[in-house]
């Protein structure tokens, strides 16, 4: 299963540092798809299934080393894909997912300094053979979204917009978020056009217009 081979469904992810406005933009895109007659599933990571939500609570609130954190993120993600995302795509729905693997490269790779090559290896292990129950069948490309909207803005502008839930990541300082942002940019260079950067310093209406333009460019909305 790859981003291009998910039947009639559409798989779109939303990325950016905390406070970049992903939830608001996800809701706006959901409304646009529903207006066009599509069935939409909005979901988020880490989470999206009962087990993945438990892993989320651990990852966001317990202190742990960066690799343990990475493993929890991929464990939650595999569960999320198998139980929630893949069935929705198979049913032809539009899946709008706040955060996916790019967040792991950005936060654990950029923010926490986990080795990039190790992340690529873990992505290959966790995001392939998704229809198999733990059986490794064949080396395939990891599942990635069909389109990723990266809402980019400097940490200094995002900080005041944070909802202030106070998880471990939201308490990280500006240097952490600078590194996260740089890692998104690095990930984008090897994404072959899948990741579209949306300048999110602009007013909300302008950001959402850019988001809709990126989706229309794929031919997915009138």
The number of angstroms, rounded, from the C-alpha of 85 to the middle of its chain's C-alpha atoms is 12
Q: Stretches 99-107, 117-125, 136-144, 189-197: which one binds ligand TYD (CB under 6 A)?
A: 99-107
Site for ligand TYD in 170-199 (CB under 6 A): 170
Smallest gap from Cβ 167 to ligand TYD, in A, equals: 6
Smallest gap from Cβ 111 to ligand TYD, in A, equals: 7
Instruction: Give the residue, chosen from 6, 13, 84, 104, that forms a contact with ligand TYD under the rule CB under 6 A.
Output: 104
Q: Stretches 33-41, 78-86, 95-103, 208-216: which one binds ligand TYD (CB under 6 A)?
A: 95-103
| Residue 98 sits in the site that holds ligand TYD (CB under 6 A) | yes
3-state secondary structure the chain: CCCCCCCCCEEEEEECCCCCCHHHHHHHHHHHHHHCCCCEEEEECCCCCHHHHHHHHHHHHCCCCHHHHHHHHHHHHHHHHHHHHHHHHHCCCEEEEECCHHHHHHHHHHHCCCCHHHHHHHHHHHCCCCCCCCCCCCCCCCCCCCEEEEEECCHHHHHHHCCCCCCCCCCCCHHHHHHHHHHHHHHHHCCCCCEEEEECCCCHHHHHHHHHHHHHHCCCCC
Return the number of other C-beta atoms located less than 10 Å from residue 22's C-beta. Answer: 23
Residue placing its CB nearer to ligand TYD in the complex, 92 or 164: 164
| Residue 79 sits in the site that holds ligand TYD (CB under 6 A) | no
Instruction: Give the residue, chosen from 33, 107, 150, 151, that forms a contact with ligand TYD under the rule CB under 6 A.
Output: 107
Site for ligand TYD in 35-54 (CB under 6 A): 44-46
Site string for ligand TYD, 139-168 (x = CB under 6 A): --------------------------x-x-
> Binding residues for ligand TYD, per CB under 6 A?
18, 22, 44-46, 60, 73, 98-99, 103-104, 107-108, 165, 167, 169-170
């Amino acid at each position: 299963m790859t981003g291009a081979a998910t039947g009639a469904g559409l798989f779109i992810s939303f990325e950016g540092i905390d406070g970049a406005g992903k939830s608001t933009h996800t809701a706006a895109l959901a409304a646009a798809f529903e207006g066009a007659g599509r069935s939409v599933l909005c979901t988020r990571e880490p989470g999206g299934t009962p087990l993945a939500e438990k892993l989320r609570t651990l990852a966001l609130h317990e202190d742990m080393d960066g690799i343990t954190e990475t493993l929890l993120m991929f464990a939650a993600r595999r569960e999320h894909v198998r139980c929630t995302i893949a069935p929705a795509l198979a049913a032809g729905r539009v899946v709008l997912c706040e955060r996916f693997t790019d967040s792991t490269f950005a936060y654990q790779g950029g923010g926490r300094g986990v080795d990039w090559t190790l992340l690529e290896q873990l992505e290959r292990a966790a995001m392939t053979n998704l229809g198999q129950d733990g059986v490794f069948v064949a080396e395939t490309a990891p599942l990635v979204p069909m389109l990723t909207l990266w809402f980019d803005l400097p940490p200094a502008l995002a900080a005041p917009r944070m909802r202030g839930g106070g998880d471990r990541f939201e308490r990280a300082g500006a240097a952490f978020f600078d590194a996260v942002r740089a890692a998104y940019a690095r990930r984008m260079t090897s994404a072959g056009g899948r990741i579209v950067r949306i300048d999110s310093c602009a007013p909300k209406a302008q950001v959402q217009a850019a988001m809709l333009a990126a989706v229309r460019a794929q031919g997915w909305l009138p």
